[in-house]
């Protein structure tokens, strides 16, 4: 049974490392340029079928907007912070409940919006899948008041 215990400890260590990476990406300060890889945090509105989705799966809304990419997110802390703040500013300008603005904002980004801080100064199509996942995480964080 000892190997089982090691696997549990390894899994716990990986989980702690993932949470630490997310918290580091969300914190203000530093602004280092090193890329960080974080997994998307689960939301209370997520369906159980989404949690069981294989890695690399793309979740789309009924309107055809990509709202989830099951791949490790990749961005620098500065890119993440800028994307989150740009999203927050957009949401404040629109008014209303931020959670209801996630899909419209993502639709705008994915529909050929000009490069800007919300998409790491690239267009949506120029981003890698991992970078698109990071943008989605930043947008959802902005809606939840995480930046």
Q: Is residue 28 part of a domain?
A: no
Tell if the pTM clears 0.75, that is, is over it: no
User: Which residues sit opposite 36 in a β-bridge?
Assistant: 75
**Phi/psi at 67 (nearest 5 deg)?**
-115, -5
Q: Is residue 19 part of a domain?
A: no
Q: Is residue 83 part of a domain?
A: yes
Q: Is residue 101 part of a domain?
A: yes
Q: Is residue 138 part of a domain?
A: yes
- Mean pLDDT over residues 116-127, rounded? 96
Domain that holds residue 95: 56-143
**What total number of domains does the chain contain?**
1
pLDDT at 147: 87
pLDDT at 50: 41
Q: Is residue 124 part of a domain?
A: yes
Map tokens 């989605």 to a residue.
Answer: 136
pLDDT at 20: 37
Q: Is residue 11 part of a domain?
A: no
In this predicted model, what pLDDT tens digit does every residue of 9-55 receive, in sequence order?
333 333 333 433 433 344 434 343 444 444 444 333 333 334 444 56
Nearest-5° Cα angle at 70, 12 to 144? 80
Query: CA-CA distance, 24 to 61, in Å (whole number)?
Result: 29
Compute the mean pLDDT over every residue in the chain, rounded to the nearest whole number: 74
Q: Is residue 90 part of a domain?
A: yes
């Amino acid at each position: 049974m000892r190997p089982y215990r090691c696997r549990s400890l390894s899994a716990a260590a990986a989980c702690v490392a993932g949470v630490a990476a997310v918290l580091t990406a969300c914190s203000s300060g530093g602004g280092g340029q090193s890329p960080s890889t974080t997994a998307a945090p689960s939301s209370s509105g997520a369906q159980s079928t989404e949690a069981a989705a294989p890695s690399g799966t793309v979740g789309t809304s009924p309107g055809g907007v990509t709202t989830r990419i099951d791949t490790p997110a990749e961005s620098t802390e500065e890119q993440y912070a800028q994307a989150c703040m740009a999203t927050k500013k957009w949401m404040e300008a629109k008014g209303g409940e931020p959670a209801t603005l996630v899909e419209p904002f993502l639709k705008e980004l994915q529909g050929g919006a000009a490069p800007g801080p919300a998409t790491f100064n690239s267009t949506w199509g120029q981003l890698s899948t991992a970078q698109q996942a990071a943008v989605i995480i930043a947008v959802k964080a902005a809606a939840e008041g995480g930046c």
